[in-house]
Chains A and B, each alone.
Chain A
């Protein structure tokens, strides 16, 4: 029951099929990495899981701890415990990180309950200390004028604050220099534990040097073509993706 389960998923955007029969299970407490070449549908998978309205699921299922989530609105999924760290987080001009997160935390309370401001700030500062963030950061407008590294750190701060059951990290390493990458990886590592399942989407093996996955899956042309232990990532690093593509092409997929 305690898992994010994707079964035989097919999804399209503008009539074009991107996800083509993908199955994958992420048990709570584990970190699974999805690697794959550009255009294999990794980011599409992230958006489909979060319920982006541009994508249409044509068949298959996605369940979280046994509950089907595909019929839910994006905000309902989020409140039930799925978090997506965006590859390109949006700006929200004029809204501070503190106020944005406060609204997000408030949205998780039962109707009529009011978030206690002192409790909220105590928790926010605790998480910021954990992520070694300067407190002045939260008085800036969400992602407005942020560097790539600041945007990703902001995603990790939100992940820490909202305490989801499952987190999908979409190319969180893209556009980061090695120092920023380490900061973000430390943040994710500090959040690892029995109550969080992580799906780590990345193009490069580099991130996996810092966030060691429990399992690695390779995604090509909209489905998982190989799953293995963490050394699969090293193998990919060495050989590239072509050998898998070739392998995939041969046994005229039945």
Chain B
């Protein structure tokens, strides 16, 4: 039997290639008001967007780096050396035929058009600052589902866009949400009308090709009453010697009874600073589930959150972080309970290899006046070899008497004896480690959609081969 090839096959190093730059639009190096004028003009955005961006810049410049609580490695980002906008056009193509050859080759190499044919309801492919391709299957479009880039969303659907844009994550939420607000470009705008259940996932693929560059996509998803959506995002970049910055803002709105599942497999190269703000608002009886897998990058800081705004809303974060040599995965979850009978579940598994470092930060907030709220938090860390480091910073505030919280944490190790035992059965050291890691994440991965669990297992194997050497 030939094993089924994962439709989402993105090998760990498969993203490590790039083509020469052919950008027509380049905002230049550094970030000033001029950069913003350049972006607004090239994208032909309305005046309110210029104001929004300028406000973002002001807040960004005024906020200190969060090094007082986060990694000092953030200081290695030199904002003056980064290019904030690079594109070859601002209109995403509806057909791969119309996408320029070199860019199309990139996405073909990453297998995106093939996956689209196989099992996706729609795809958006972003290359540096702009989506080069965006298309949704006709049947899904006919149900009234909107799936376009952020620029198109704000221009063509202002009545829905402006209602929610920047409302889930205000510009001043943190330094990087402010930065994104100043220079955002690309990302998805999705609207699912009431009662529409989108059967197949919509996918966005974010590709960085250029050096000394920052990618700042902005995603806004609104799923109306009783509707359902699964959205997946993948990302890769070539390995450059200089730092690349990826700083996205993702806002989700699940209206009454809606369900959103948002899946990320982050596979950035080891020079990427991945500083992302992701948050959802769940209205009455809505469900939001973040599935977040962080395999690559130099430093990832990401804490997907759900504000449980309506009665019986439910939020979930399932996350896996793999920190190899020299990498730091600083990840976690935020659950803000703001209504009665809301429930949240956080399961975090981290793996640290060699000098890799995994940090879990969790925030669970249940105010005193609420009743019958529940939170369950589990964080498990696996250490492979003695240099690895793992930290857990759970901040759980649960007030009031009718609410319950459960928190479990564990740290385990793959011992040399365990590896020897497995080697004695014929597995190489790398195979032994990846099997141990797969065993560690197994119960969590089982909850992922099939395509992603296969993909994740492969990524873990490839990562282990690389780290054993």
Contacts and interface: CB of A to CB of B under 8 A. Distances in A.
A94 interface: yes
Contact of A92 (B3, B418, B431): B418
Contacts of A162: 425-426
Interface residues of A, number: 33
B428 A107 contact: yes
A33 B276 CA distance: 63
A158 B425 CA distance: 8
Nearest to A85: B424
A114 B3 contact: yes
Contacts of B438: 94-95
Nearest to A114: B3
Contact of A114 (B2, B416, B427, B441): B2
B439 A92 contact: yes
A117 B425 contact: no
A84 B3 CA distance: 31
Which of A73, A74, A90 has the most CB atoms of chain B within a 10 A radius of its CB?
Answer: A74
Nearest to A118: B1
B401 interface: no
Interface string A87-123: 0011111110001110110011000001011100000
A185 B157 CA distance: 75
B427 A107 contact: yes
A86 B3 contact: no
B436 A84 contact: no
B435 A53 contact: no
Contact of B431 (A52, A103, A118): A103
A176 B423 CA distance: 26
B422 interface: yes
Contact of A100 (B2, B417, B425): B425
Interface string B99-110: 000000000000
A117 B420 CA distance: 26
Contact of A90 (B3, B415, B440, B443): B415
Contact of A93 (B1, B421, B440): B440
A108 B417 CA distance: 21
B412 interface: yes
Contacts of A84: 424
A108 B426 contact: yes
B426 A104 contact: yes
B29 interface: no
A91 B427 contact: no
A163 to B, nearest CB: 11
Contacts of B424: 50, 74-75, 78, 83-84, 86
Contacts of A92: 418, 421-422, 435-436, 439
A141 interface: yes
A78 B432 CA distance: 13
B439 A93 contact: yes
Contact of B423 (A74, A86, A93): A74
B71 interface: no
Contacts of A95: 435-436, 438-439, 442
27 contacts: A52-B420, A53-B420, A73-B428, A75-B428, A75-B429, A75-B431, A78-B424, A78-B425, A86-B421, A86-B424, A90-B417, A90-B421, A91-B418, A92-B418, A92-B421, A92-B435, A92-B439, A93-B412, A94-B439, A95-B435, A99-B435, A100-B422, A101-B425, A108-B426, A114-B2, A158-B425, A162-B425
Interface of B: 1-3, 412, 415-418, 420-429, 431-432, 435-436, 438-443
4 interchain residue pairs of minimum CB distance: A94-B439, A95-B439, A90-B421, A74-B423
